[in-house]
Structure formats: structure tokens, C-alpha cells
């Protein structure tokens, strides 16, 4: 398969590595020059590089990944959609929804499969959580709490984190959009959000221009109320989810490869793998395998463009609540 990757920063390189492990795909990278010097000699490299979308004229392209800075996602996806190419757009969909109507119109008219890149939906732990919720293992779900905390200055020690995309609201940075996974999987579990309340926390802990921490309260159309805590200043890394039902509680911790089903008279542990990093790699691999099947026409996108738009609308409401947009 001939695949274009638009943007070869850290997430683009991760997807490139996964794609190369999945078959003899010919990968072309569309480079902006921003990250051109960041690919080490030991890393897997694309087969070809181009520096303008116009260079694709006459070149067979079966699929495209949009992995450039968040603020460019919609514009780049629109140009790719005009060519009728199936797409994978890395989360979040953008830093706003400017231009989304044009993109949606083209996608519908040309019947283009579009997947939005939420790899946590493909994580064995999240899959196990959803299965137990749907199977009624803890009865009727009443509420849920998800947490994600990370120390952003430690992500790339050799780079100035204060000028990274995640620190810049104009590029789509900030903890709300960068860490949108929790919002995404909770709405996948419990349905669309009908009401949102949010409060910024932490303030100026690490000194970036975007929000560093937030508490979010969401009411879903199913009646479930969920709470999300996100931050860029926590040490050590912390990510988990607790779902409370009438008959018990489900608990998942990213660092522990299992899901716990906790009840008054018994506790059950569902093993999901051997290590946290193994499961993270599996999530990216599962996600890309699914995308390739959508390109082949064998599956429908699990995380569609419509879902990406729905998530963005909720995220923008959160940002409005904390007066960040």
C-alpha cells in the first residue's frame, strides 16, 4: 500500500514504525522542515520525502495520515480529501473547528473513510473496561472518574518544552486538547455529553501559555455523570479510570496490565497483558491495523470524523468554561 504521512514529528514517526511492521508499505513523508533534523540515524525512515502536497500529482496514494501540528489538521485534511484519499487524522481534530464544514462536505460527497486517531480506544485495558460495562458486570453505571497526570517538562529532556506544540494554544496545545483521550473514551462508554462544567487548576506550575490542569464534570445522554482530572505537572505519570455501578466498581490503571471488578463479596482481576508499555504498543498497532482495514473497505472507522467533531465541540465548551477560548 502507498501511504502518505503528513508530518514526521514524534507521533508521525511512531505511526511510521508501526506501518513498516505491518507490511511492505511504501511510505512517503510530507515534511514541513520543522522536524526534519529530529530523525536520528537509528530510526526507521520513510521511503520518500516531499515538501508540498502538489508533489503528489500523478503519484498513486492509497491512504494518508495527518500527523502535523494540531492547528494544521483540518486544512491539510481538506487538501487530501479533495484527492479522494482515505485518511487518518491524529487527535485532536484541530485547535478549533474552522473549515470543518468544507472538510465534512468533501468527505461525504466523495465517500471517503476518515478515522480520528484515538489509540486509547484500542488499548486492551479500555477494551476490557467497555466490555464489562456493556455486559452489566457492575449493574447500572451511575458515575465514572478518569485521571491523567504527566510531567510535561520530562517528555523530551533535550528540547525546550515551553516552545513545543503542547505548550502553545495557537498550535492546539494545552492539557484539554492534548490529553483528549479521557473525554473520548468516556463518551464512547456512556454516550454524548449534554452538559459540561469545568474549572482550571494548578495555574502557573510549569510556566506554559496554555492551561496546565483542569477538572471537568460531564453529564452524558445515558444519565451517567463523569469527572475528568487532567494535568501537565504530576510526578510520577498517572492514568486511571474508575466506573461505579449499582453492583460494583470497575478499576483500570494504565501502569498495571489488568482490570479489576470489585464487588462487596468478591474481587475479580482480568489480566490484559504483561506490561504497560507492551499494551501501549498494542494500542497503536491495533489502531493502525484497523485503519488499514477501513482503507481496504473491510471495516467502518470506529472513531469517525463525526465523532472527532463531537469531541472537539465538547473540548471547546470545556475551554470556554475555563475562559481559554
pLDDT in tens, 239-252: 999 999 999 999 99
The answer to whether 33 and 51 are in contact (CB under 8 A) is yes
Q: What is the pLDDT of residues 133-181, one digit of tens each?
A: 999 999 999 999 999 999 999 998 888 999 988 999 998 999 999 999 9
Q: Given this model, what pLDDT does residue 231 score? A: 98
Ordered strands of the 48-50 beta sheet = 48-50, 26-30, 2-6, 63-66, 87-90, 114-117
Least confident window among 38-42, 167-171, 186-190: 38-42
Question: Residue 216's Cα: distance from chain center in Å?
Answer: 18
- Cβ burial of 135 (10 Å; 0-12, 13-18, 19+) is exposed
Domains of the chain: 2-119 (3.40.50.720), 120-275+305-321 (3.30.360.10)
Q: What is the pLDDT of residues 259-276, one digit of tens each?
A: 999 999 999 999 999 999
Average pLDDT in the 294-317 region? 98
223 φ/ψ angles, rounded to the nearest 5 degrees: 100, -15
**Spatial distance between the Cα atoms of 175 and 190, rounded to a whole number of angstroms:** 22
Q: Given this model, what pLDDT does residue 245 score? A: 98
Using pLDDT thresholds of 50, 70 and 90, give the confidence band for residue 32: confident
Helix (H, G, I), strand (E, B) or coil at 238: strand
Q: What is the pLDDT of residues 104-114, one digit of tens each?
A: 999 999 999 99
Q: Given this model, what pLDDT does residue 313 score? A: 98
238 Cβ contact partners less than 8 Å away, ≥ 6 residues apart: 147, 148, 149, 150, 254
The answer to whether 81 and 110 are in contact (CB under 8 A) is yes
Using pLDDT thresholds of 50, 70 and 90, give the confidence band for residue 284: very high
Which residue shows C-alpha cell 459540561? Answer: 196
Measured CA to CA in angstroms, residue 316 lies from 88, 148, 322, 324 at distances of 22, 19, 10, 9
pLDDT at 37 over 60: no
Q: Given this model, what pLDDT does residue 36 score? A: 45
The answer to whether 271 and 257 are in contact (CB under 8 A) is yes
User: Residue 276: which of 121, 90, 124, 118 has the closest Cα?
Assistant: 124
In sequence order, the β-bridge partners of residue 50 are: 30
**Spatial distance between the Cα atoms of 143 and 210, rounded to a whole number of angstroms:** 29
Using pLDDT thresholds of 50, 70 and 90, give the confidence band for residue 325: confident
Helix (H, G, I), strand (E, B) or coil at 229: strand
Using pLDDT thresholds of 50, 70 and 90, give the confidence band for residue 39: low
Least confident window among 8-17, 91-100, 163-172: 163-172
The 10 Å Cβ neighbour count of residue 110 is 13
DSSP per-residue string spanning 10-72: HHHHHHHHHHHHSS--EEEEE--STTTT---TTS---SEEES-GGGGTT---SEEEE-S-GGG
Helix (H, G, I), strand (E, B) or coil at 284: helix
pTM, two decimals, is 0.95
User: Residue 91: which of 120, 115, 118, 63 has the closest Cα?
Assistant: 118
Mean of the per-residue pLDDT values of the chain: 95
> What's the grid cell of residue 299?
471495516
How wide is the angle at C-alpha 44 spanned by C-alphas 39 and 46, nearest 5°? 85
Q: Given this model, what pLDDT does residue 139 score? A: 98
In this prediction, what percent of the chain has a pLDDT beyond 90? 91
**Spatial distance between the Cα atoms of 280 and 65, rounded to a whole number of angstroms:** 19
In sequence order, the β-bridge partners of residue 67 are: none
DSSP per-residue string spanning 109-122: HHT--EEEE-GGGG
The answer to whether 60 and 2 are in contact (CB under 8 A) is yes
Amino acid at each position: 500500500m502507498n501511504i502518505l504521512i503528513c508530518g514526521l514529528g514524534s507521533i508521525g514517526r511512531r505511526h511510521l514504525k508501526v506501518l513498516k511492521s505491518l507490511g511492505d508499505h511504501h511510505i512517503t513523508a510530507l515534511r514541513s522542515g520543522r522536524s526534519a533534523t529530529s530523525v536520528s540515524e537509528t530510526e526507521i525512515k520513510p521511503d520518500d520525502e516531499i515538501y508540498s502536497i502538489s508533489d503528489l500529482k500523478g503519484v498513486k496514494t492509497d491512504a494518508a495520515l495527518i500527523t502535523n501540528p494540531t492547528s494544521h489538521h483540518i486544512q491539510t485534511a481538506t487538501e487530501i480529501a479533495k484527492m479522494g484519499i482515505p485518511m487518518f487524522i491524529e487527535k485532536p481534530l484541530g485547535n478549533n473547528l474552522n473549515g470543518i464544514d468544507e472538510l465534512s462536505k468533501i468527505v461525504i460527497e466523495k465517500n471517503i473513510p476518515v478515522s480520528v486517531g484515538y489509540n486509547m480506544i484500542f488499548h486492551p485495558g479500555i477494551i476490557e473496561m467497555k466490555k464489562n460495562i456493556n455486559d452489566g458486570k457492575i449493574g447500572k453505571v451511575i458515575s465514572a472518574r478518569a485521571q491523567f497526570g504527566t510531567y510535561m517538562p520530562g517528555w523530551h529532556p533535550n528540547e525546550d518544552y515551553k516552545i513545543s506544540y503542547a505548550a502553545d494554544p495557537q498550535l492546539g496545545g494545552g492539557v484539554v486538547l492534548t490529553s483528549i483521550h479521557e473525554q473520548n473514551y468516556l463518551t464512547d462508554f456512556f454516550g454524548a455529553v449534554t452538559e459540561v462544567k469545568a474549572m482550571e487548576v494548578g495555574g502557573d506550575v510549569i510556566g506554559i501559555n496554555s492551561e496546565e490542569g483542569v477538572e471537568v464534570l460531564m453529564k452524558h445522554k445515558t444519565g451517567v455523570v463523569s469527572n475528568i482530572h487532567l494535568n501537565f505537572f504530576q510526578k510520577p505519570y498517572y492514568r486511571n479510570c474508575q466506573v461505579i455501578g449499582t453492583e460494583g466498581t470497575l478499576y483500570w490503571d494504565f501502569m498495571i496490565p489488568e482490570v479489576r471488578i470489585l464487588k462487596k463479596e468478591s474481587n475479580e482481576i482480568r489480566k490484559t497483558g504483561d506490561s504497560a508499555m507492551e499494551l501501549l504498543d498494542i494500542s497503536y498497532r491495533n489502531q493502525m491495523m484497523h485503519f488499514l482495514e477501513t482503507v481496504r473497505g473491510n471495516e467502518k472507522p470506529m472513531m469517525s470524523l463525526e465523532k472527532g467533531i463531537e469531541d472537539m465541540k465538547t473540548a471547546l465548551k470545556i475551554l470556554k468554561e475555563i475562559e481559554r477560548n
